[in-house]
Amino acid sequence: MSFNSFGGIWFSLAVLLVYQLIKGHKNQNIFLLCASLYFYATSSILFSSLLFATIYIGFTSGLIINHALEKGKSARLHVTMSIIAQIITLGIFKYHNFFVESFATTLNSFGLNPNFSTLKIILPVGISFYIFQTIGYIIDVARKDTKAHSDIVEFALFVSFFPQLVAGPIERSKNLLSQIASPREQVGKKDVTYGVFLIIQGYVKKVVIADNLAPYVDTIFTYDNISSPIICVGLLLFAIQIYGDFSGYTDIARGFSRLLGFRILLNFDRPYAARSPADFWRRWHISLSRWFTEYVYIGLGGNRSKSALRRNTNVMATMTLSGLWHGASLNFILWGAYHGVVILIGRIVGKISPNFLKNSTLGTLLSIIITFMISLYGWMYFRITSIDQLIEYNKSLIMRWDGYNVALSFLAQSAPFLILWLVLDIVELYWLDVHAQKVKRYRWITLYMGIMLMIVFILHAPDPSSFIYFRF
């Protein structure tokens, strides 16, 4: 089940209606947990047991770790074992075949012919998200940033809360779990306005912008006579497609959560307006970036390391692992490593740049343009999984400059959706306070939402596609 399917829409409306009739947050939690487990089962009933196992491991581990800490004992062994159990689960389902095939290829290069077998495994929906969320909770308990939760229903709902279960944001216990454990605040007019606004924006981004751009992107990246102008247009369209697809899901999830009385984490903050590669990652998939910063980068020593080499190594390791999180493929590793390199280069450039460029409108504009171009090139390693095709595209990007008419044709056909994306981005900038999660301007908002809703009904893609991040 998905938010962009009729079944997902009717399910969400039914949950919202019944939820309002239930009194008491304990009863509401039980209902939401049942709804969340049903929602997940419709997408992956075979792997519901895996979700249950993750909930059980996280819940019992938190209690055991908390008990040890209260007794003044070390909980390091149990923390390690709990995290390893989660990582092994993720590794079997997501990375086993990749590492087996990579190891076999390496041995083949030395003249050896190993006979390793791979597993015929379907990747469980949302496994990377809910396992990382559970690992974060275990580490928070071990660091005493949060107390272990003793209510299994509340903890299970924290892990399986259906609006953000299969594609994030990756929630923190201090945010979502604390809201689940507390009586709901009254959902007021401002909450409804903000929630509905986000939901409509999310549907425009997904079913109008992303899904209508998808055929152009697919055509370009399977085009036989590829050249630099065509690649550049393809990367531009894919950049907007993946942003509309992923941020659209997040908007719907956050908007619907708001109607239920929850405020889940901000996951996007106009990333294509970033001024540096590091700033891009503070704005794109924010919950994942913070997860890797707090649990991997800081765990490796972060900026506390005295050696510049060690600090740079920490950045590269963190970004490479972040790339691997997205998929069991070499292209994702290269994508993560690429962003690690450009972040380090960005730090150097930031130190040596003249002050007048740092503090001027021209300097800001140049920084945004350069950062956008850097992210565009990086998307090629995200979109193309074949290494041979990546090599071919890099050669064409440098050496082939024909195909301008084809590139302009693709750009002209997709222009309405690019313009619509800019409209949404500008409206969000001036009408929303994304960090405070509130609407700043109400005067024209009802008319605007009505127009956007009409656009959804009229311009929605005839062939809707699943959300891109469902595969991670």
Catalytic residue at 326? yes
CA distance 342 to 371: 9
CA dist 344 and 37 (Å) reads 42
**Residue 336 contacts residue 320 (beta carbons within 8 Å):** yes
Q: Is 439 helix (H, G, I), strand (E, B) or coil?
A: strand
Residue type at position 379? W
Of 138, 147, 254, 153, nearest to 205 by C-alpha is 254
CA distance 4 to 208: 11
Catalytic residue among 25, 326, 339, 435: 326
Identify the residue whose tokens are 């009729």: 6
**Ramachandran area for residue 96 (φ above 0: left; ψ -120 to 50: alpha; else beta):** alpha
Q: Which of 136, 211, 207, 215 is nearest to 169 (CA)?
A: 136
Which residue, among 290, 287, 284, has the nearest Cα to 272 in the 3D structure?
284
> Which class for 453: exposed (0-12), middle (13-18), buried (19 or more C-beta within 10 A)?
middle
Rounded to whole angstroms, how far apart are CA atoms 73 and 292? 27
Rounded distance between C-alpha atoms, residue 378 and residue 180, angstroms:
38
Sequence-distant (6+) residues with CB within 8 A of 223 are 230, 234, 406
Positions marked active-site: 326
